[in-house]
Amino acid sequence: MSNGSSLNEFLLLAFADSRELQLLHFLLFLAIYLAALLGNSLIITAVACDHHLHTPMYFFLLNLSVLDLGSISTTVPKSMANSLWDTRAISYLGCAAQVFFFFFLFASEFYLLTVMAYDRFVAICRPLHYGTLMGNRACVRMAAAAWASAFLNALLHTANTFSIPLCLGNVVDQFFCEIPQILKLSCSDSYLREAGFVVVTSCLSLGCFIFIVLSYVQIFTAVLRIPSKQGRHKAFSMCLPHLAVVSLFLSTLMYAVLKPPSVSSPALDLALAVLYSVVPPTLNPLIYSMRNKELKDALRKVISWTFFSRGNIAIALHK
């Protein structure tokens, strides 16, 4: 194969060789995917329908749930279909689309988590200016900036990656298409151009990471100065879910990127990919709703309304 244009498809890494294990993988991923769909859809519905949750924090949480739905839908359904139909193939365009959407949604989530750290910082450290700094227009602009910058970043990386000549086969050592695995198929020095883009993106990501860390240093400093125990507990309850989500998101990703080559193996890379691409979108709704009474109440209303509506429909049909 002389270059990327001669490729019609790529072969993804299979989770198992035996048919029984393939079906087990399908059922496991189906359960995880349905849990992620249910959890994130409930949060989106609750925030959209409950006027008590029409605040900056829940607006950003709604955006996060949309991104989580998109990111897990980019990778998991194709992997499930391949296991069910006992195949490893993904089309060239399908692979390019997967690279673009995964990078776009993943970067959007990281930028949005940075914005959410700023929201928590303003709420706790600048409470008197919260209404001014986090007004409706400001929130929409910050969310739009996160989505737009991630879109341009993903477009740049995807276009550059698939313009590089690929002549080392079409086997991708991962269960979905991602840029590092595609670059391994290059046989020229063209990948150095993409490496330059990666450095720029890494610097931007490092800046976001430093901003999040500094925000939380100031947040915890301010919280520890609160005289009442109840006030400190309320402040920590506002911040800990976001901090848990950031920690889960960054710890798995950083280990995947920074792990020594000596400990790298296809099985380890596969496990890490599941940790940073599948686990966060599934656990994020649970993390945010565990200690949040407002969100729990809104979710109960949504679930009750859903069952009540279905009950009325069933009664009407029976009549």
pLDDT, one tens digit per residue, over 172-192 is 888 999 888 888 888 766 556
Q: Which two tokens stand for residue 247?
A: 């920690």
pLDDT of residue 319: 54
Please give the helix or strand (H or E) that residue 173 lies within, else none.
none
Residue linked to tokens 């991104």: 67
| Least confident piece of the model among 77-86, 158-167, 285-294 | 285-294
Q: Which two tokens stand for residue 95?
A: 């692979």
- C-beta of residue 179 within 8 angstroms of C-beta of residue 161: yes
pLDDT tens readout for residues 60-117: 999 999 999 999 999 999 999 999 998 999 999 999 999 999 999 999 999 999 999 9
- C-beta of residue 85 within 8 angstroms of C-beta of residue 17: no
Cα separation, 143 vs 103, in Å, equals 17
Percent of the chain with pLDDT over 90: 39
Cα separation, 110 vs 97, in Å, equals 20
Cα separation, 43 vs 66, in Å, equals 9
Please give the helix or strand (H or E) that residue 180 lies within, else none.
helix 179-183
Closest CA to 72 of 110, 42, 33: 33
pLDDT of residue 33: 96
Q: Which two tokens stand for residue 12?
A: 């993804």
Query: What's the N-to-C CA distance of the chain in angstroms?
Result: 66
| Nearest-5° Cα angle at 94, 90 to 98 | 105
pLDDT of residue 3: 46
Q: What is the pTM of this model?
A: 0.86
Cα separation, 97 vs 119, in Å, equals 32
Cα separation, 78 vs 71, in Å, equals 12
- C-beta of residue 103 within 8 angstroms of C-beta of residue 158: yes
Mean per-residue pLDDT of the chain = 84
Cα separation, 282 vs 150, in Å, equals 22
Long-range contacts of 55-58 (CB under 8 A, 24+ apart): 56/119, 56/134, 56/139, 57/116, 57/119, 57/120, 57/123, 57/238, 58/295
Residue linked to tokens 């609750």: 46
pLDDT of residue 5: 44
Averaged pLDDT, 253-274: 72
Please, what's the b/e burial string for 303-313 (b: 16 or more CB within 10 A of its CB; e: otherwise)? eeeeeeeeeee
Q: Which two tokens stand for residue 84?
A: 């069910």
